[in-house]
Amino acid sequence: MRKLRRMKVIVGGLMSVDGKIAPSNRVGKTFSKFMTFRHQKMLHRIRSQVDAVIVGVDTVIADNPSLTVREIKGRNPIRVVLDSHARIPLDSKLLDTREARTMIAVTKNAPRDRVESLEGKSVEVFVSTRSDRVDIKELLRELRNRGLATVLVEGGGETRWSFFKERLVDEFFVWIMPRIWGGKDAPTMVDGEGFTKAEEAVSLKLKSMRIVDKMLILWFSVKK
């Protein structure tokens, strides 16, 4: 049997100049108000060019996103939520699959009643073999086996870190708004425990740089 190639993983998001993706009180949609219609169209165009968009459940709880390509003509990617314990609110926009498919990735220890509630919706539940958190390598293999080739990881900080930690990222983009937010407890673009040695840090190569409606947009490839 021919071995399937590894999926291409793109990670990206919006942050302030000082690297914050939300204020310390973690109020949802605070930063998205700085996006113009042009920015929204650009983001939706990126989504239309990938097969799946991945976010963590905390992003869903905070922002209640749709993760579709509403502002352009294009195909909607599959929405995938990393949700180890099936915490996604049952009234979340992502559970409405009339416009796009949704997969909720949980662990084998996720509460059975919550999993059954999700299965009662028109979403698919992927059960990871791990008991503590979703195994993202296992998830990517499952998506690749279904014929998907490219995924976009939109957030949040812990989710982005999990992909960098496993050395799965191929490209990284960041949109920097001209704002300083501050706050030592504010979430950053990439959170998690972080690398502790200089030689472990992920090395990037700048591919492009532009300014769109006062937003600095940087796109990098990840050096392997």
Under a CB-based contact definition with an 8 Å cutoff, are residues 15 and 183 in contact? no
Determine, yes or no, domain membership for 2.
no
Looking up residue 45, the CATH number of its domain turns out to be 3.40.430.10
Angle (nearest 5°) at CA 166 between 163 and 168: 60
Angle in degrees, CA 67, 72, 78, rounded to 5: 30
pLDDT tens by residue, 140-180: 999 999 999 999 999 899 999 999 999 999 999 999 999 99
pLDDT tens figures, 79-101: 999 999 999 999 999 999 999 99
Domain that holds residue 201: 8-222
**Is 1 contained in some domain?**
no
Per the structure, how many domains does the chain have? Answer: 1
User: In sequence order, what are the residues at sequence separation of 6 or more whose Cβ sits closer than 8 angstroms to the Cβ of residue 192?
Assistant: 157, 158, 161, 162, 164, 165
